[in-house]
Amino acid sequence: MKRAILLRFVAILMLALAVSSVFSYYFIGKNMLKSNRESMINTIHVVDYSLDYGGDLQMQLSRLHEATMDEKSRITIIGEDGTVVADNEIEQVDSLENHLEREEVREALAHGSGFATRNSESLGESMLYVAVHSKEGPYIVRMAVPYTNMLDYMILIFPVLLLGTGIAFAMSAVIAVRFTNTITTPLNEISREMEKVRSDNPSFTFKTYKYKELNVISATTMKMSEEIREHMDRLEKEKRIRQEFFSNASHELKTPITSVKGYAELLDQGFVKDEAVKKDFIARILKETDNMTNLINDILMISRLEAKEAEVTYSTVRMVPLLTEIFESAEPIAAEYQVTLHKECEPVSIEASAKQLRELIMNLVSNGIKYNHPGGNVWVEICSKGTDLCIRVRDDGCGISREDQERIFERFYRVDKGRSKKMGGTGLGLSIVKHIAEFYNGHIELESEPGKGSCFTVTIPENQTKS
């Protein structure tokens, strides 16, 4: 790239120098011609003034020419009718043709002065002719000098012009190289850094450059690489979570399937004769299949909530009747665990799916009952707080340690695996609660102290836009 920029730069430079040389050559030449003409007119005036037109013009001309002009110049006196009266070079002026048709003579007669350049027939070289209408008599005084003189001047100044052009070219070339470097060096550095993108964990370090545009390239590259890294980390994390999820789910399903298979095989082999034992086995098979169905339903619900694909039938859910209905379902289990339920509900409503809200509250309430002790309590409080709907489920049960609080919303995480399983838990309840809260752009908070109890608070914006 550097070579290409330099070559173009040099080409532009050469063109500029060539154009400026041609112009200066042309104007210098033109000016020289003009000043020559003017000095010739002055000489002619002097000659005109010095001549005695009544005397021997031929002799006077020869003398004047000898005294004042260089030998290559020629001076001629022409009558207004075009006849040559005297000429410093030709004595037999009668032999000369009439000069009335000569361009410079015609102009001098018409405008006072005139000039022309042409090949002299008598001298055989290119001449500059300047003619002036005499102020002293009815004559035209004409002077001629070899035109090649001026070309000589031009040839004289040509080396100077060439030298100037050369110096200008050399200086511009140095500047061009420096200028090209200021662009190509940062670009090379930036592209070298950007090649790191092929490595596994690229980290870029860019300098700050003189040109704003180059800094934009480096800043954008840094930002893009940062975003790509974050995206890759997120993908990696999601991949890990998915793998964990599948391994946990298959593990959770394997256990009930094994026991169902065991009971079914025993029944099939006919070893169990006792009807009561048979009934017990069948009851166990049914319980395990119920557990499996619950687990599969919970897994499906989480995946739909995550993908935001849950089929939601929105309606205005009034919280007072909903909570009453939940308490009616929960009372039998609460009685079984000897836990008392308490509720306090403001007459609030929200545009949402009643099924999902029931699931959310029911999970929290049943956890409050399950992880409690006989004589314990579960309090449910629903109220409107600013623009949010606030659902608080508190219990005075076993509580959760600080370490477990951090992991409790993870899928399949259980503090006490045995106890949870015994109670038909899948380890997905709190994960479902969290996902439902997030589905409605809400969130869940937990405060808990081991041995004293736990308090789960779900906050959901009341203004829900249906999607």
Binding residues with ligand ADP: total (CB under 6 A): 22
Q: Are 48 and 141 in contact (CB under 8 A)?
A: yes
Rounded least distance, CB 433 to ligand ADP, Å: 7
Q: Is 430 in the site for ligand ADP (CB under 6 A)?
A: yes
Q: Is 414 in the site for ligand ADP (CB under 6 A)?
A: yes
Binders of ligand ADP among 127-186, rule CB under 6 A? none
Q: Is 400 in the site for ligand ADP (CB under 6 A)?
A: yes
Binders of ligand ADP among 23-62, rule CB under 6 A? none
The window from 25-33, 105-113, 195-203, 392-400 that contacts ligand ADP (CB under 6 A) reads 392-400
Q: Is 420 in the site for ligand ADP (CB under 6 A)?
A: yes
When the beta carbons of 166 and 424 are compared against ligand ADP, the nearer one is 424
When the beta carbons of 26 and 246 are compared against ligand ADP, the nearer one is 246
Rounded least distance, CB 367 to ligand ADP, Å: 3
Rounded least distance, CB 437 to ligand ADP, Å: 13
Rounded least distance, CB 424 to ligand ADP, Å: 8
Rounded least distance, CB 381 to ligand ADP, Å: 15
When the beta carbons of 146 and 429 are compared against ligand ADP, the nearer one is 429
Select from 368, 376, 390, 391 the one that contacts ligand ADP (CB under 6 A).
Answer: 368
Rounded least distance, CB 459 to ligand ADP, Å: 18
Q: Is 398 in the site for ligand ADP (CB under 6 A)?
A: yes
Select from 104, 252, 395, 396 the one that contacts ligand ADP (CB under 6 A).
Answer: 395
Rounded least distance, CB 444 to ligand ADP, Å: 12
Q: Interface with ligand ADP by CB under 6 A: which residues?
A: 363, 367-368, 371, 395, 397-398, 400, 408, 413-416, 420, 425-431, 454
